[in-house]
Structure 1
Amino acid sequence: MGAMSREMVNAICAAMPGAEVSDPWGGGHDAWKVGGKMFACVGALGGGVSVKTADVESASALIEIGRAVKAPYFHRSWVQVPFDRLDPKDITNEELRERLVASYRIVRAKLPKKVQAGLDPAE
């Protein structure tokens, strides 16, 4: 796949068991949820994708080493992976996929057991 983009994020997220996309605030956001909880969001401007990390420390570490930036409007355990501001050699499509999968797993693991049981197994 070419450069990172909304289309690429949507293709990766759509393949995850139970993932659903909506535009909860209107105005062209792609908010990906599993079990009703968000795990990825591409803003209306499409400058990057916001994902959940394990905790505030993990988020800070990623920002510090230049793998992500602060996710505007989100809790501090979230980061944004920009589509354009980082050198494409720097953040690979594989790394983007890993961030999305990690975020999905973190959010999925916190869902009620009954909800988790209703989802297909994660890869």
Structure 2
Amino acid sequence: MTRDEFDAFCRRLPATTHVVQWGNASVWKVGGKIFAICSTWGEGDFPRFSFKCSDISYALLIQQEGLIPAPYLARAKWVQMEEDGALDDDSLKAYIEAAHKIISAKLTRKQRNELGLAV
């Protein structure tokens, strides 16, 4: 997946906002809370995707080759793709969509109602 494809996919998720920060990282939020990031930090120029995941997904994914606990975010159960292609595009999209749902569910009822999110 390219950064443009990542941005296009995240843009289609409900009530998202986008900012570019932290050295040109593409940061996607719902209700002001981050659910996915695309950056080019580290060696190589391929995009590195980071996303929030469930406790179970986190435990499984960090054992998979090419995926690591996300720097600075691992304590909150975030994973980062450290190798290009560590997840196929369909799997990556599914995890990003799940991250969006996890973060949406943590918003207050009032926030979810204001954003039009049913959880």
Go from structure 1 to structure 2 and tell me whether the alpha carbon gap of 1:10 and 1:82 turns closer, same or farther (over 3 Å shift): farther
- Alignment deviations for residues 43-93 of structure 1 (CA, whole Å, 9 cap, x no partner): 2445311100112x531311113373221221330001346163xxxx221
Q: How much identity, in percent, do the aligned residues show? A: 34
Normalising by the residue count of structure 2, what TM-score does the alignment of the two structures yield? 0.82
The two structures have a TM-score, normalised by structure 1, of 0.79
Report the count of equivalent residues: 113
Distance in 1 separating the partners of 2:66 and 2:24? 25
Match status 1:20 vs 2:17: yes
Gap change, CA 1:14 and 1:82, over 3 Å in 2: farther
**Unmatched 5+ residue regions in structure 1?**
none
**Which residue of 1 is the match for residue 93 of structure 2?**
97
Larger RCO (alpha carbons 8 Å, 6+ apart): 1
Two-structure CA RMSD over aligned residues (Å): 2.1
Asked if the contact 1:70–1:79 (Cα under 8 Å) also holds between the matched residues in 2, the reply is yes
Q: Which has more helix, going by share of residues?
A: 2
Which moved further from structure 2: 113-122 or 34-43? 113-122
